[in-house]
Amino acid sequence: NAGVTQTPKFRILKIGQSMTLQCTQDMNHNYMYWYRQDPGMGLKLIYYSVGAGITDKGEVPNGYNVSRSTTEDFPLRLELAAPSQTSVYFCASSQNRVHHFGDGTRLSIL
């Protein structure tokens, strides 16, 4: 009964490095999302997907890319890490308007 699984849980990057945050769900949900959470700011939507092969930008997509080749997986890619991308990243999936969240990836860029 895994739900939404995110890896890694923690990561420190140097400025300019790239990495992929992994997200997988086992509930066969069509909708998947990436949010970032900054202190006192709530969650901001980065990208979302309504099904395999379909992605769209959210509120804060700059500096990120996504892909959705399967229903289960929705990886988030940072190509050139910047200090402004230090945040906690949450992946979620939804069915019937109920979001299920992963436990988050805490990313620091130094």
- 103 contributes a contact to other proteins by CB under 8 A: yes
Length of the chain: 110
Of the candidates 99, 104, 79, the residue with the CA atom closest to the CA atom of residue 5? 104
Count residues contacting other proteins (CB under 8 A)?
23
Structure tokens of 37? 């959470």
Per-residue binding letters, 22-61, with other proteins (x by CB under 8 A): ---------x-x-x----xxxx-x--x-x-------x---
- 74 contributes a contact to other proteins by CB under 8 A: no
Structure tokens of 7? 């890896």
- 90 contributes a contact to other proteins by CB under 8 A: yes
- Provide the minimum distance between the beta carbon of 7 and other proteins in the complex, in angstroms, as a whole number: 13
Residues 55, 90, 49, CA angle at the centre, nearest 5°? 15
